[in-house]
């Protein structure tokens, strides 16, 4: 989701001129009421769900930065590097898509 917002921000679509029409009251109401009904139903469902209590005692030092580093740079080194390359390619692609062809003063 954040990537989509980032791409839209980088593309800088055209700015619409003129009057912006707001949706009518009934259209807004038709969007809000079902959302509230679904949200309230989800809240009731979560409250009524019988979730087991968390009784597991974690070992000493669980989740420490040193252990995370040992996992990422040990057992999962290939996956960690592969994801970093994919993210780098995605960033370069987003910058290439969002590049403006402006006249630079020295050109």
Query: DSSP letters along 40-103, please?
Result: HHHHHHHHHS-PPP--PPPPTTTT-HHHHHHIIIIITHHHHHHHHHHHHHHHHHHHHHT---PP
| Structural domain span for residue 51 | 1-99
In a domain, 5, yes or no: yes
Instruction: State the pTM of this model.
Output: 0.41
Could you read off the pLDDT of 18-28 as tens digits, one per residue?
666 777 888 88
In a domain, 84, yes or no: yes
In a domain, 106, yes or no: no
In a domain, 53, yes or no: yes
Could you read off the pLDDT of 45-90 as tens digits, one per residue?
988 887 777 788 888 878 899 988 998 889 999 999 999 999 999 8
In a domain, 107, yes or no: no
Q: How many separate domains does the chain show? A: 1
CB contact at 8 A, 3 and 90: yes
In a domain, 104, yes or no: no
């Amino acid at each position: 989701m954040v990537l989509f917002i980032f791409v839209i921000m980088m593309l800088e679509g055209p700015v619409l001129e003129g009057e912006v029409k707001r949706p009518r009251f009934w259209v807004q109401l038709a969007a809000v009421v079902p959302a509230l009904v679904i949200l309230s139903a989800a809240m009731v469902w979560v409250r009524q769900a019988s979730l087991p209590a968390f009784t597991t005692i974690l070992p000493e030092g669980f989740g420490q930065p040193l252990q995370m580093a040992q996992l990422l740079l040990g057992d999962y080194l290939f996956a960690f590097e592969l994801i970093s390359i994919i993210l780098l390619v995605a960033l370069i692609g987003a910058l290439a898509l969002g590049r403006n062809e402006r006249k630079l003063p020295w050109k």
